[in-house]
């Protein structure tokens, strides 16, 4: 597992580095790419993820649990952030405090380590995390630059919510979109992964002189790599009576690095995207230690 994690980290950092180089040479605008991710690519990804989820709706309890866990953590992080910062950093910290890179970082590890049941658990957890990111998470971040009404209007216009409803409807009523269309939509997954990591480097490239906010960086990393997984293990371990390998999937999701969508949404809304990009980059590096330690300790 250690080799798998290191290889994954190197690959993700390499993509971000490619984005940094492209951003420097081509002077790309990260907000345009972030908008493409949120408004065009993400809806297809979430629709296909729900439609192809390898389980029945009894597994939806994991989505609900992930949504509630992420939302609770985000509210707590936001309240802490308000005590530390008087500006949008508190909102950005709140969003980041509730989520992680569960999809394109954790899911390949789940495929490598666990059987079909645990893969299904992971997929439904990822669905719940994505729903958090584009509902409460988006709202918390938007409130850093908008009022409540404007934030709710922006959320209502997000196509990913309607894509999720369409996926749920198709799966519930057994609507088959056809193998040709489904295989064609698979290309959006790769685009989402690559562009999602490249936008981190592109965002960093737009700042000729990057001033590190050590307080924000330390708090964000401490929350994601220490408090979030430790408290999650202490809470879910005694309360949930389930097999160790299923609990290991949950711990893996808790121990993932900061989500790439932190940078994507911060870039779209203009809420300190440079601080988000730097924190996500460092967090991905730290995941080489935190992820294998957390799962190996549990197993």
Question: Domains, the chain, ranges and CATH?
Answer: 2-298 (1.20.1530.20)
pTM value? 0.87
Task: Please answer whether residues 271 and 141 qualify as being in contact, where contact means their C-beta atoms are separated by less than 8 angstroms.
Answer: yes
**How large is the average pLDDT for residues 289-296?**
73
Three-class secondary structure of residue 157 per DSSP:
coil
End-to-end CA distance of the chain: 12
Mean pLDDT of the chain: 85
pLDDT at res. 2:
66
How deeply is 158 buried, as exposed, middle or buried, from its count of CB atoms within 10 A (0-12, 13-18, 19+)?
A: middle
pLDDT value at position 54? 66
Distance of CA 272 to the CA centre of its chain: 18
Q: What is the pLDDT of residues 145-197, one digit of tens each?
A: 888 899 999 899 999 889 988 988 888 888 888 888 888 888 888 888 888 88
How many Å apart are CA 270 and CA 234, to the nearest integer?
36
pLDDT at 295: 66
In the predicted model, is pLDDT for residue 75 greater than 90? yes
Q: What torsion, rounded to 10 degrees, do the Cα atoms 45, 51, 54, 58 define?
A: 120
Q: How far is residue 84 from each of residues 26, 77, 120, 211, measured CA to CA in Å?
A: 37, 11, 39, 18
Q: Which of 29-33, 108-112, 135-139, 279-283 has the lowest mean pLDDT?
A: 108-112
Task: Output the CA torsion sign for 9, 14, 20, 22.
Answer: negative
Instruction: Report the distance separating Cα 144 and Cα 220, nearest Å.
Output: 17
pLDDT, tens only, 229-259? 888 777 776 666 677 778 888 888 888 889 8
Q: Is 243 exposed, middle or buried (0-12, 13-18, 19+ CB in 10 A)?
A: exposed
pLDDT tens-place string over residues 46-72: 888 888 776 667 788 888 989 999 999
> What is the mean pLDDT of the segment spanning 111-124?
80
pLDDT higher than 80, residue 299: no
- What does the CA dihedral 23, 27, 30, 31 come to, rounded to 10 degrees? 180
Burial zone of 239 (CB within 10 Å; 0-12 exposed, 13-18 middle, 19+ buried): exposed
């Amino acid at each position: 597992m250690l080799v798998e994690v290191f290889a994954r980290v190197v690959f993700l950092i390499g993509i971000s580095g490619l984005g940094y180089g492209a951003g420097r040479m081509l002077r790309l605008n990260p907000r345009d790419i972030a908008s493409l991710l949120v408004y065009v690519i993400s809806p297809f990804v979430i629709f296909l993820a729900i439609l192809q989820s390898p389980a029945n709706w009894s597994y939806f309890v994991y989505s609900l649990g992930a949504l509630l866990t992420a939302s609770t953590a985000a509210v707590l992080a936001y309240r802490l952030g308000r005590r530390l910062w008087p500006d949008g950093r508190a909102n950005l910290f709140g969003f980041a405090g509730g989520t992680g890179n569960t999809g394109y970082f954790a899911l390949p590890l789940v495929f490598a380590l666990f059987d079909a049941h645990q893969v299904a658990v992971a997929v439904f957890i990822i669905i719940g995390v994505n729903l958090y990111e584009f509902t409460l998470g988006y709202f918390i971040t938007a409130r850093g630059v908008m009022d409540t009404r404007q934030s709710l209007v922006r959320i209502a216009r997000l196509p990913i919510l309607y894509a999720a409803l369409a996926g749920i409807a198709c799966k519930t009523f057994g609507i088959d979109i056809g193998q040709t269309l489904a295989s064609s939509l698979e290309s959006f997954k790769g685009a989402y992964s690559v562009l999602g990591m490249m936008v981190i480097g592109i965002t960093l490239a737009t700042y000729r002189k990057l001033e590190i906010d050590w307080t924000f960086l330390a708090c964000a990393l401490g929350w994601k790599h220490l408090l979030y997984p430790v408290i999650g293990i202490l809470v879910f371990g005694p309360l949930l009576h389930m097999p160790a390998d299923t609990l290991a999937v949950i711990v893996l999701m808790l121990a993932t690095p900061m989500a790439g969508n932190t940078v994507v949404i911060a870039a779209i809304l203009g809420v300190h995207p440079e601080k988000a990009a730097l924190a996500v980059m460092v967090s991905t590096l730290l995941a080489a230690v935190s992820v294998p330690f957390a799962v190996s300790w549990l197993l």
